[in-house]
Structure formats: structure tokens, C-alpha cells
Structure 1
């Protein structure tokens, strides 16, 4: 229990209560005793000074106070009064019992007293546990060094201290009982939410991607719960996208492999005539190219995410690169009767980027635009020069992208088309690769779309220093 967070919070809370109470009790006990002793010293010194003034004339004439005088002085000062010389001889009065054994003072203190300094001590008689205050006042009028001693026990100081200590013991026990109850509920209120988050995390780690914590609120643990739920939502979505992606990839690979296998078997068995043989061979070559492109995209994405793909930036003219892309897509454009136009701005536009990777970006975006554009439509590629960046936009007039799909199209494994037909779309990683390539070249990419009107993909590239 002590090793758990609940146990540590509970016992630390209890320990603070106990230590605080003990320190408070010891401090109060000391202050009570010290206040009583200090008050008694001041009282005896004041009364002693008045007493010395009363007997000083007799002492100056060499007369020693009688027993009756000493008795009246005892009543007046409420203390035991006696006179002694520098050798310790008692001149008048009667000191307490065992005075010579229990009340021997330091020679330096006695010398200072007989030289005219008031001295005071706190002593405890062995037979009486009550503390006593002893005050010694020099009698300067005496012919020989003489001092008056006043001895007064501080009755009740121990009883008062014991009463305080007893009260503190009861307070300590009550505080411990209250701290046990409060500490238990406070510790549980802190650890129960953490246990709930831990439970949800454990279930999530075991594959229950629907596991969420109920701990939310405007406090540290509540915000932790909200962050966990947000992270769980993101991971669950990624996991679902990964499963969809694997299903898509499986279908993408299975379809060409099945076609290649069927055609290869037909060629091997010799059941295909010369015309079919050429058609089968062309289909086989096309399917292998499709699978090669798919594998290459997967390798590029893995290298980009690991930061291992080499980007070689050079300075080149952007419009020349755009013209090469238009030429490359001529066969595909003729098939759908789509026109691809490059809108050029005045003057040359020099950028600092990797030409090969830029070509890959443009190929992905234009191929995506051609795939989603209707026949007899126009695809525009625009390039604008900014202050530090050039902006390239690929605009199509196809079916567009829904608002639900728009935030997720850059995610790996995501496909806006839920069907698995290769006719409807690519493998779902082309745009993820495109985005990573643009970012690796120091730019950014975004998309704007309206359903039924088309989509505009725009990316930036840093301008070359002239």
C-alpha cells in the first residue's frame, strides 16, 4: 500500500499532521515555561530591589536583620530571603535545604554579583520537581561584600505544561483521526481518476481501440484525461486507416497479380493466338508497372517519415519543369479529351528545390486531377511569384472533395473513395508522399475544394537567391 500513489499521498498527509502537531506542542510547552520563568525573574528582581533599599541603612550601620525582619521580608517578597557574604557564610535568614550542594554557582557569576551585578538562576530541587528562580542582588552599602538572595519556586509551571501537553495529545489524536478520514478521501479523489486513465490505457494497449477514460474537467488530471481521449481518437483513426489501407493494398496487388497469373498461364499453355499474346503482354507490362509504382511510393513514404530520403536542392526555372509535366501527360489527356494548360506569369521564376522530387509532386497532383476530372474539361497549372516563395496551383473541375474528407486527405493510408476499385482512385498514399516531399523541400501544401466544382491543390517552394 505504501508503494502505491494512494499510500504515499495518504501517509505523507498523515505524517505532516503528526509532525506539525508535535512541533506545535513542543513550541507551546517551551513558550509557557519560558514566559513563567521570565515573569518570575522580573518580579523577584523588582521586589528584591525594594527590599535591599529597606535594609540598606541597617546594613550600612553594621546591623544584621533579625529573624523577625527576615520573616517579614519573606512575606513581602513571597520568596525565601537570606543574606550571605562572599565566602558563602549565611549572615541572616535560612536558605533552602541542600543549598550548598544543589545551588553552587559559577565562580565568575558570584564574583560579578559581589562586584555589583544582579544575577539570576533557574534551579530544580531534587526533592521538588517544580522549578525555582534564584535572584541575587548585591548590597552596595555593606562594609564587606554582601548579597541578598531570593528563592521562589514557580508553582504550577509543570502542571500547566503538562496540561498543555495533555491537550495537545488529545488534539493530536483527534487530528490523526480526522486526517485519516480526510486523507483517505482526498487520496482516493486524486488516485481514482489516474486509475481510470491507467485502465483505459491498458485496455487500449490490448487492442480495445474504443476504450476511453471518463476523467475530464478543468484541472490537471482532467486535462490529462482529455489529452488521452484525443490521442486515443487519433490512434484509433490511424489504426482504422491502416486496416483500410492494408485492405486496399491487398486488393491493389491481388488484382494485377491475378491478371498477370491468368495471362501468363494462357501464354504458357499456348491457348492465346498471336493477337491475344500481344495484348496479354501489354497488360502484363502495365500491371507490373502499376505494382512497381505502388512499391516505390511505399518506399518513398517510409524514407520521408524516417528522414532518410535525400533532397538535392538546386536553382532552376520553374516554368520549364511545368512544361515537361504537360508533355508527359499528353497520352492520358488525349484519352479523356482533357486539356492541360500552364498559366505563366511575366519574367522567369527561379526556385531552389529538387527537380526530380518536384517532378514527382507534379506527377502525383496532375495524375490525381486527371483521374477526377470529367471528359472535355480543363486542368490549369498556375505559378505565382511571392516575396520569398513561389506558389504552384493545380486546378481541376471534377467532383471535388467533401468537407468530411478534406481534413484527412494528407493522412497516410487515407482514401476518400471507400470503394476498392483501382478505377476510382490510387493506393491512398500518393498525397501523403506529395505533402512530405513539399515539406522536405522547404515549402507547404494546402487544398481548397467545393463539391461538384473541383479542387485546387497549392504548394509553395522557396525562391532562389539571385
Structure 2
């Protein structure tokens, strides 16, 4: 059985069956002990009643057979024991296997023993007969089977009750297994649909805390995947747009050269310069995309060291002054004398250069672009 629901239901069912089985064994054992104890109690009462009778009649050939006939109604037997351990009459087989020494010493005895008559429950009560000093006690026995006479029907009823009781936990196990595995099934189905591209799938949140945690975690994961996909699409759209400009310029000048529209050394030099510039721009874009792809992976490294942020930003601004002048833009830097931070100077300059290039593209002629930096607590803030 491979399904979690099936295994869970079977496990709970087996546990219930074992519990009922063990409970039944313990109950039967206790009932046996109780029935034997109850038999000893009954026999003790009878034996004490016999011992309390007229001492002149107990043990005579008239009274003892009468007592035995009365006891035989329930399968019980009686024997009169003398001080030397012998038994009056022909009842010696009744006490075979029973230790009579405590009774001869004047103490009551009780227990179970294996006699010639089989396994019996027995009791012995001392008797004091002034006219018959040889008599020391009376022993009564009852077959264990008779003592447990009501146990058979009772065990049958217990078994019927146990079978009925088993139906309840088995039904509960089936319902519980279905309830516990339903959220897992929902997550499995939703995951399958997400794997096919449907990132809108979500699972209902269970009322159970552990299963609710699973549902919330899955929904958060699905939302994160959807957001990641949205950003990826936006990024690809942005990259596609950015790539069109240099590609268009390169294609335009290449076609102009091919068609002979560009004439003279100066024209060719200008065309080659534009093509080279746009090719460099494409290279930078590709490098930026590769760097972005490495972010968060083991391939992306930061060489962190103490760096003067003021000097790094000045170099980045100086690198774009000619480009700003060609676009008739004012590019200025508002920087402190020194601003030392723990960072990767190459990555900082790369980020600032990208920001300045973006500003140069979107700022109209005659505009101004400013680069500023300031300390803020234990960090530094750069603004473009």
C-alpha cells in the first residue's frame, strides 16, 4: 500500500486492534483472578460455617457425607484433616498436592493446587473439637473450571463488545487519515499545476497548526515564484528595449557604409566610431546581464575591503564627463572630503556608472545630473 492515506489508516487500525487485544488479555486475566478469589471467599465462608457447627457432630459419619452432598451441588468437595495429616474417610485424593502443614499448625490456608481431581481452588479452616482432639481442620475444594464457570460466556460477551468497539476506531482512523492527508493531496495537485506553468495556484489553509504551516509555506512559495516570473519578464522586456538602441545604430551605420552613403575619411571615421561605441555599449549590457545572473550564486564574488567612497565616485563621474558634455548636460559631484566604507570598489563604481548612464539617457539637453554621497550611521548613502 503506497498511499499515505492508506498507510495511515492501516497503522491507526492496527494500533486500535492491538490495544483492544491487549486490553482483552489483561481483562481476561483479571477476571480469572477475580473468579478464583471469589471462589476462595465462598469456600472460606462455608468452611468457617462448618467449623462453627456443633463440635460433637462435625466429623461423624452422619454429618460429613451430608456436608459433602450439599457441597457437591456446586462441584465442591470437603475433607476433614487430622493432626497427623491424614484425612478422615476416603477423601485423601481431595487434598493431594495441598500443603496442609500451616492448617495443622492452626492457620487458615487458601490457594490453587493440582490434585488427583484436577486443578482446584482450595481453602482450609482450623477446627477445635475438644472431644476429638485428632481433628485439626476442614479443607474445601472447588474445580478451577467450576470457579470460572461464568468466565466463558463473559469472555464471549467481551469479545463481541470488543469487535463492536473496534468499528469505532477503525471508522475514526479512516476519517482522520482522509482529513490529515487531504491538505497534502491539495499541495501535490497544486504543485503539479505550478510545474505546468500555472503560478496562480494556491491551497486552502487547514485549521490544524502543522498543516496550516505547510499550506502557508506553499502559498508563500507560489507567490514568490509568481513575483520572480513577473520580474523576469519585466527585466527581459527592459533588456530587449535597451538592446534595440545600439543594435539600430550599428545596423544603420553599417547599411550606410554598404550603400555608400558615408563618404570621405571623416564620414567613415565617424561611422566606425559610432559602431565601436555602440558595440562597447552592447558589451557592457551583456556584462551587466551576466553579473545580474550571478547575483545570489556561488559565482558572484565581492572583494570587500576598506575603500574611500569619495575617490571611487570621483573616478566614476570623471569617466562620464565627456559623454555628458556631448549631450550638453552638466555632470557634478557633491562629495565629502573622505568617506571610508567596507565595500567592493569595482562593484560600487559599476553600479554608479550604470546609474549615471541611465541618467544621461533620460535627461534632456541642458539638464543637470548630480552624484552625491553621505554617511548615515554605520552606512553610506549614494544618490544620483
TM-score (norm 2): 0.79
Q: Deviations over 1:135-186 (max 9, x none)?
A: 2345688866954311235786545323332223322332344444443333
Q: Secondary structure at the match of 1:175?
A: helix
Higher mean Cα deviation, 152-161 or 227-236? 152-161
Name 1:449's counterpart in structure 2.
Answer: none
Q: Which residue of 2 aligns with 1:284?
A: 275
- Partner in structure 2 of residue 194 of structure 1: 184
What SS class does the counterpart of residue 90 from structure 1 fall into?
A: coil
After superposition, where does 1:107-256 map in structure 2 within 5 Å? 109-122=99-112, 132-137=120-125, 146-153=136-143, 158-210=148-200, 212-219=201-208, 220-250=210-240, 252-253=242-243, 256=246
Question: Structure 1 residues 37, 343: CA separation in 2 closer, same or farther (over 3 Å shift)?
Answer: same
Q: Which residue of 2 is the match for residue 297 of structure 1?
A: 288
Query: Does the 8 Å contact 2:123/2:140 carry over to 1?
Result: yes
Asked if 1:91 is matched to 2:79, the reply is: no
Deviates more, 1:333-342 or 1:223-232: 333-342
Equivalent positions of 1:445-460 (< 5 A) are none
- Asked whether 1:10 is paired with 2:12, we answer no
Deviation at 1:277, TM superposition (A): 1.5
Equivalent residue pairs, number: 375
Task: Confirm or deny: 8 A CA contact 2:106 2:136 kept in the other structure.
Answer: no
SS in 1 for 2:159: helix
Give the aligned partner of residue 20 of structure 2: 21
More helix by share: 2
**1:389-404 to 2 correspondences below 5 Å:** 389-394=378-383
Aligned with 2:35: secondary structure? helix
Q: Deviations over 1:316-375 (max 9, x none)?
A: 43323333333233234442534533153xx74332322222222322334444545565
Greater Cα shift, 264-273 or 283-292:
264-273
Residues 148-157 or 293-302, more deviating:
148-157
**Partners in 1 of 2:237 and 2:338 — Cα distance?**
46
Question: Partners of 1:262 and 1:366 in 2: how far apart?
Answer: 26
Q: How big is each residue's C-alpha offset from its partner over 1:50-94, in whole Å with a ceiling of 9 and x where there is no partner?
A: 644667x76xxxx982022325655599853212357764324x5
Distance 1:48 1:172, change over 3 A: closer
Q: What is the alpha-carbon distance in structure 2 between the residues aligned to residue 157 and residue 49 of structure 1?
A: 19
Secondary structure of 1:340's partner? strand
The normalised TM-score by structure 1 is: 0.67
Tell me: CA distance 1:342–1:134, structure 2 relative to 1, closer, same or farther (3 Å).
Answer: same
- What are the residue-to-residue correspondences of 1:266-285 with 2, within 5 Å? 266-267=256-257, 270-274=260-264, 275-285=266-276
Would you say the 8 A contact 1:323–1:342 is kept in 2? Answer: no
Distance in 2, matches of 1:309 and 1:235, equals 22
The alpha-carbon deviation at position 273 of structure 1 amounts to: 0.6
Residues of 1 paired with 2:10 and 2:156: CA distance?
24
1:237 deviation in Å?
Answer: 2.9
**Is 1:70–2:64 an aligned residue pair?**
yes
* Cα RMSD after superposing both structures: 3.8
Q: 1:268 to 1:339 in 2, by over 3 A?
A: closer
**Contact kept? 1:383, 1:392, Cα under 8 Å:** yes
Structure 1 residues 263 and 207, CA, compared in 2 at 3 Å: closer, same or farther? same
Map of 1:362 onto structure 2: 352
| 2:198 aligned counterpart, secondary structure | coil
Rounded Cα–Cα distance in structure 1 between residues aligned with 2:290 and 2:197: 27
> Quick check: 2:80–2:135 contact (8 Å CA) kept in 1?
no
Question: Could you say if the C-alpha distance between residues 322 and 161 of structure 1 is closer, same or farther in structure 2, counting changes exceeding 3 Å?
Answer: same
Instruction: For structure 1, list consecutive stretches of 5 or more residues without a partner in the other structure.
Output: 396-466
Question: Cα gap change, 1:158/1:139 in structure 2, threshold over 3 Å: closer, same or farther?
Answer: closer
Q: 1:50 to 1:175 in 2, by over 3 A?
A: closer
